[in-house]
Amino acid sequence: MSQTRPTNPILTAVLVAGTLDILGAFTHFYLVRHMNPAPVVLKYIASGVFGADAMKGGAGMMAIGLLFHYIIVLGCVLVFYGLYPRVSLMRFNKWITAVVYALLVWVVTNLVIVPLSLVKRGPFNLQHALIAMLILVLMIGIPITFIVGNYFDKKARLKSASH
pTM here is 0.90
The C-alpha atoms of residue 106 and residue 110 are separated, in whole angstroms, by 6
**DSSP secondary structure string for all residues of 107-160:** HHIIIIIHHHS-----S--HHHHHHHHHHHIIIIIHHHHHHHHHHHHHHHHHHH
Long-range pairs of 152-156 with CB within 8 A, sequence gap ≥ 24 = 152/84, 152/85, 152/91, 153/91, 154/3, 154/4, 155/4
CB contact at 8 A, 149 and 85: no
pLDDT in tens, 137-150: 999 999 999 999 99
Instruction: Give a yes or no: residue 139 inside a domain.
Output: yes
Instruction: Give a yes or no: residue 161 inside a domain.
Output: no
Instruction: Give a yes or no: residue 1 inside a domain.
Output: no
Instruction: Give a yes or no: residue 150 inside a domain.
Output: yes
Instruction: Give a yes or no: residue 134 inside a domain.
Output: yes
The domain tally of the chain equals 1
Q: What parts of the chain have a pLDDT lower than 50?
A: 1-2
Instruction: Give a yes or no: residue 132 inside a domain.
Output: yes
pLDDT in tens, 54-83: 999 999 999 999 999 999 999 999 999 999
Instruction: Give a yes or no: residue 162 inside a domain.
Output: no
Please give the pLDDT value at position 160: 79
What's the domain range around 41? 7-156
